[in-house]
Chain A
Amino acid sequence: MNFISPPYLHAETSVRRVMNRVMLALLPGIVVYTALVGVAIIVQILLACFFALLFEGLFQKLRGRSLASLQDGSALVTACLIALTFPPLSPWWLTVLGVFFAIVIAKQLYGGLGQNPFNPAMIAFAVCIVAFPALMSQWPAQGLYLPLSQQMEVIFGVSPRIDALTAATPLDAIKTALKMDSFTGSIQELLKSQSLYGTFAGRGWEWVTTAYLVGGLFLVQRRVITWQVPVAFLASMTVISLICWLVDPTRFSDPLFHLFSGGTMLGAFFIATDPVSGCATPTGKLIFGGGAGLLAYLIRVFGGFPDGIAFSILMMNICAPLIDVYTQPAIFGMRRGGKKKEREHE
């Protein structure tokens, strides 16, 4: 008799479906991003996806596991996030290196899907920005739209990298200004003077991040993610940036700018919400998201890196298991009229 056990019914759901939804939600952001910087980003995504599957398959094999896990889509989500967080004109090997660290070191060596204590994509980002700070800071200059052939030459290293390609991001600009004692003007003037400012945040980028927000809201609506992490993330960033901005509006940017700059939206909806490395209890998610938002602001404004999303999320990853232990919710029958008494087993 084949052993089957209740329940015999199952909802129409699978890990693959979850991951597909996440990738679908990334689509608006990818489209706007492509419109902004060109097909290079598509090339980076394909490159990352190819190597993610390659490394995943190779290590599943080495670990004596089934290759069926390639279909779960988790490696592809990681690959997409790496491609979207790395500068679009990064050399190809930098992307591959990032994918290697994410899939092999951060995920497979810890036991594969579901076992990684850290967000693989953020490990990739952290490793690469520490090892190759210059390359990881080369964001394409505003309005620079290279033809595809030239972009390919840059990515695949046929032609030498030229600094003229890149420029400071708005976040870089304000950080640099903050650190200059001689800086006398206001942040807003500075951004305007470098034509970095758009309607409400970084020029062009504001629409990419808006598209991430749209995709993120789709995930919440489809219940792929819960509201706690993104809301807490965005709320804590809003509060801390509002405080700084109110204290000194000439040196600090307004909350809107911070919410729609850098990796805030991507981090809040797509990265901090990673269930494996994040918190799982409702209260834990609020703490996790809130902490990540706060740390991200502090690092991006006062720290040494252009953006703080990766490090803030990794730091919160460290805390996640402990937060979960201390935020276990009361169960049914423990709240209303229920004594918090441990039921002794007979």
Chain B
Amino acid sequence: MLQKLFKFKGGIKPAHHKAESRGTPIAAAPLPGHLVIPLSQSAGEAAQPVVAVGDKVLKGQFIGKAEGWLSSAVHASTSGTVIAVEPRLMPHPSGLATLSVVILPDGEDRWMPLQAPDYKNMSLKSVLQYLQDAGVVGMGGAGFPSHVKMQDSAALGDLVINGAECEPYITCDDRLMRERAGEIIAGSGIIRDLLQVKRVLIGIEDNKPEAIAAMQAAVEAAGETTFSVVAVPTLYPAGGIRQLIRVLTGKEVPVDQRSTDLGIQCFNVGTALSVWRALNLGEPVVSRVVTLTGNVEQPGNWEALIGTPMNELLALARPRADTDGVIMGGPMMGIPMPACDVPVTKGSNCLIARSPTLFPPPPPEMPCIRCGACARACPQELQPFELYWWSRARQFDKAREYHLSSCIECGCCAYVCPANIPLVQYFRFSKSEIRAAAREQKMADSARARFEFKQFRAEREKAEKAEKLARAAAAQAAKLAAERDAAPEGESGAVGDAADAKQAVIAAAVERARVQRAETDSRDA
């Protein structure tokens, strides 16, 4: 199928390092000693635990309930016993912990009874609900809940299935497409029908000829006519959403819009597979394919249960002795793990065993000479050296003006920088400072609003109290006056009225003090 392709500016061509792991078929990883399943594996709120310590669970059983629409359910990855529900270190460089369910497998790996939904006769809303309950999130790494993406993309023009896999080292999508093309195509077909899309574009970098052939064969076998399998030029980051959309459709997603505003939605091949499994087999997401590579003897791809400790999984690839850490993701955007035993999550596409020889520490940072290499490499067409300047000077307003928020942190700028400046770090820092400032501003605003309301309330209460007192006094006075009026000898007058009112106020105050004292006494007792 001939397809006119477009170009995006910038991009880099680092060594692929895919050969190491792309040759070995996907194998199921053995059951680990225990599973640590974080309840927060996707964007949005963490799931709420619905199991307690001591509970027996079956594979695929609900253990975390989605909390709100922008959240996704979490399931037991194998059968066994819940031995802890507690915060555990998450696979994030921050070293923060998140509530996790720890399961001791019983070794049987027994599924709960699965029942495929009759999704063809269900409303879109209930299918999306089903996907949320099945824990289907983006498998490309970002982990955005898929049902949310499908929700506001009704009546789209194009569906882009992302099989670019542009980061070096990673080959899990390559293997998936080669081995499970039929399921991916079927899953993409389901998404197409759900979203009523006219055209499905499957973008695969042309360094994966076997995957392209397999996907093409699967499209033909399925008799799909709306599908195009497109070989896109290998150029990092061709798998970035905006870049891939540009290459496939020629459209540029405006900076202040989303792709859906142009009628385009994008899913990863792994996500399409998850959708197919959820809706055709009734299987929730309990595993994913993980590439194990880097400083290891035996690189490869393994289907690992969600929650498998990374060191246990990585051991399958036999890391070399000088391995000094694990990177989750690729070498361009992957994040260093805070510990070697953090669990595999739905977004863990690749584990790279790190060593000082594989990724030598960068040479010392030198001054920026404004050579502009970063600007020529930036796929978002930013001027990274200007952003660096403003970030360094902590002029965050200026950094925003130069479109810092459009930075996708792909790392192209830092890759080409002759001065070895860790540009991405500077940009992350600036972004977090801008976010923090916005948060602080918000907090200050609400604090001011609170304070002003408090003052307003105090005033109001004071006024109300005065009014009430006045009313009570008047009533008292009226009563006294009435009594006096009833009595025949009327020695009263205006003076007497005033005195009575005063007395009434005093009486009321005495009464209040008495009540207060009684209250204090009862509290003390």
Interface residues of chain A, those whose CB is within 8 Å of chain B, are 1-2, 4-11, 13-15, 17-18, 66, 68-69, 72, 74, 112-115, 226, 275-276, 280-281, 324, 328-339, 341-343, 345-346
Chain A residue nearest in CB terms to B422: A5
Q: Which residue of A lies closest to B329 (CB)?
A: A6
8 Å CB interface, B226-257 against A: 242, 246, 250-257
B354 / chain A contacts, CB cutoff of 8 Å:
8
Chain-A contact segment, one of B188-196, B343-351, B356-364:
B356-364
Q: Which residue of A lies closest to B362 (CB)?
A: A10
Are A8 and B256 in contact, CB atoms less than 8 angstroms apart?
Answer: no
Give the contact stretch, choosing among B108-116, B216-224, B333-341, B482-490: B333-341
Of the residues B329, B405, B411, B414, contact of A345 by C-beta under 8 Å: B405
Which of these, A1, A280, A334, contacts B370 with CB under 8 Å? A280
Known: A5-B424, A328-B402. A11 touches B366 (CB 8 A): no
- 30 sampled A-B residue pairs with Cβ under 8 A: A1-B325, A4-B361, A5-B424, A6-B329, A6-B332, A6-B409, A7-B331, A8-B331, A8-B354, A9-B168, A10-B420, A66-B364, A68-B364, A114-B370, A115-B367, A226-B376, A276-B370, A280-B375, A280-B385, A281-B383, A332-B252, A332-B255, A332-B379, A332-B406, A337-B252, A337-B262, A338-B256, A341-B254, A342-B256, A343-B255
Q: Footprint of A on B, CB under 8 Å?
A: 8-9, 12, 14-15, 93, 168, 242, 246, 250-257, 262, 325, 327, 329, 331-336, 338, 354, 359, 361-364, 366-373, 375-376, 379-383, 385-386, 400, 402-403, 405-406, 409, 411, 414-420, 422, 424-425, 434, 438
Is the pair A331, B367 in contact by a Cβ cutoff of 8 Å?
Answer: no
CB distance from B463 to the nearest CB of A (A): 39
B138 CB to nearest A CB, Å: 19
Given the complex of chains A and B, what is the CA–CA distance between A325 and B454 in angstroms? 47
- A11 near B254 with CB under 8 A, answer no
Flag if A10 contacts B415 (CB, 8 Å). Answer: yes
Task: Kindly list 12 other residue pairs between chains A and B, CB separation below 8 angstroms, not including A5-B93, A341-B254.
Answer: A6-B335, A7-B333, A7-B411, A9-B331, A9-B332, A15-B366, A114-B419, A226-B372, A276-B370, A333-B406, A343-B405, A345-B400
Contact A9 B253 (CB under 8 A): no
- Complex Cα–Cα for A73 and B144 (A): 47
Q: Using Cβ atoms and an 8 Å threshold, which residues of chain B touch A2?
A: 361
Q: How far is the CA of A280 from the CA of B383 in the complex (A)?
A: 9
Assembly CA distance A125 to B246 (angstroms) = 49
Instruction: State the CA gap A52–B368 with chains docked (Å).
Output: 20
Nearest-Cβ distance from residue B417 to partner chain A, whole angstroms:
8
Please give, as numbers and ranges, the residues of chain B lying within 8 Å of A8 by CB-CB distance: 327, 331-332, 334, 354, 359
The interface residues of chain A lying within 8 Å CB-to-CB of B376 are 226
Q: Which residue of B lies closest to A333 (CB)?
A: B255
Q: A5-B422, A7-B424, A346-B438 are in contact. Are A331 and B373 (CB under 8 A)?
A: no
Contacts of B409 in A (CB 8 A): 6
- The reply to whether A328 and B359 form a contact with Cβ atoms under 8 Å apart is no
| Complex contact A337–B254 (CB within 8 A) | yes
Chain A: minimal CB distance from B192 (Å): 24
In whole Å, how far is A55's beta carbon from the nearest beta carbon of chain B? 17
Decide: B366 and A69 in contact? CB cutoff 8 A.
yes
- Taking A4-B361, A6-B332 as contacts, is the C-beta distance between A332 and B415 under 8 angstroms? no
Q: How far apart are the CA atoms of A10 and B421 in the complex, in Å?
A: 11
Bound Cα distance from A41 to B274, whole angstroms? 71
| Bound complex: CA A287 to CA B108 (Å) | 73
Residues of B within 8 A of A114 (CB): 367-370, 419
Chain B residues, Cβ within 8 Å of A336 = 250-252
Could you say which residues of chain B place their CB within 8 Å of the CB of A329?
Answer: 381, 383
Task: Tell whether A345 pairs with B438 under 8 Å between CB atoms, given A15-B418, A331-B381.
Answer: yes
Across the interface, which residues of B come within 8 angstroms of A7, CB to CB? 331-333, 411, 414-415, 424
Cα distance, A331 to B256, chains bound together (Å) = 12
B336 touches A4 (CB 8 A): yes
A48-B371 Cα distance, complex, nearest whole Å: 24
Q: Measured between C-beta atoms, what is the minimum distance from B484 to chain A in Å?
A: 69
In the bound complex, residues from chain A placing their C-beta under 8 Å from that of B414 are: 7, 10
B383 in contact with A9 (CB, 8 Å):
no
* Chain B residues within 8 Å of A324, by CB: 386
Contact A280 B367 (CB under 8 A): no
Known: A2-B361, A14-B363, A72-B366. A331 touches B403 (CB 8 A): yes
Asked if A11 meets B383 with Cβ closer than 8 Å, knowing A114-B370, A275-B371, the reply is: no
Shortest distance between the CB of A270 and any CB in chain B (Å): 14
Min CB distance A331 to B, Å, is 5
Please name all residues of chain A whose beta carbon is closer than 8 Å to the beta carbon of B372 when the two chains form the complex: 226, 275, 280
Contact between A331 and B255, CB atoms less than 8 A apart: yes
Residues of chain A within 8 A (CB-CB) of B419 are 14-15, 114
Distance A281 CA – B246 CA, assembled complex (angstroms): 23
The residue on B at minimum CB distance from A71 is B366
- Contact partners of B379 in chain A: CB under 8 A: 332
Shortest Cβ-Cβ A-B pairs, 8 listed: A7-B411, A114-B367, A338-B254, A8-B359, A333-B255, A332-B381, A343-B256, A336-B252
Which of A7, A66, A275, A335 has the most chain B CB within a 10 Å cutoff? A7
Cα distance A266–B363 when bound, in Å? 32
Contact call B380/A332, Cβ cutoff below 8 A: yes
**Bound-complex Cα distance A5 to B373 (A):** 20
Bound complex: CA A256 to CA B364 (Å): 46
Do B370 and A6 touch across chains, with their CB atoms under 8 A apart? Answer: no
In the bound complex, what is the Cα–Cα distance between A341 and B255 (angstroms)?
8
Select B424's contact among A6, A17, A335, beta carbons within 8 Å: A6
In the assembled complex, the Cα of A83 lies from the Cα of B120 at a distance in Å of 80
Q: Select A275's contact among B15, B370, B380, B415, beta carbons within 8 Å.
A: B370
Is there contact, CB below 8 Å, between B367 and A11?
no
Neighbour of A4 across the interface among B332, B359, B371, B417, CB < 8 A:
B359
Chain A residues with Cβ below 8 Å from B383 are 280-281, 328-329
Contacts of B422 in A (CB 8 A): 5
Q: Which residue of A lies closest to B406 (CB)?
A: A331
| B255 contacts across to A, CB distance below 8 A | 331-334, 338, 341, 343
A15 to B416, CA, bound (A): 11
Closest chain A residue to B423, Cβ basis? A7
Closest Cβ neighbor of A74 among chain B residues? B369
**Pairwise interchain contact A339-B256, C-beta atoms closer than 8 A:** yes
How far is B409's CA from A15's CA once the two chains are assembled, in angstroms? 23
Among A69, A333, A337, A338, the one with the most B-chain Cβ atoms within 10 Å of its Cβ is A333
Query: B residues within 8 A CB of A5?
Result: 93, 336, 422, 424-425
Distance A68 CA – B366 CA, assembled complex (angstroms):
10
Known: A68-B364, A114-B368. A9 touches B415 (CB 8 A): yes
- B8 vs chain A, min Cβ distance (A): 7
Q: Which residues of A contact B8 (CB under 8 A)?
A: 332
In the bound complex, what is the Cα–Cα distance between A32 and B452 (angstroms)?
80
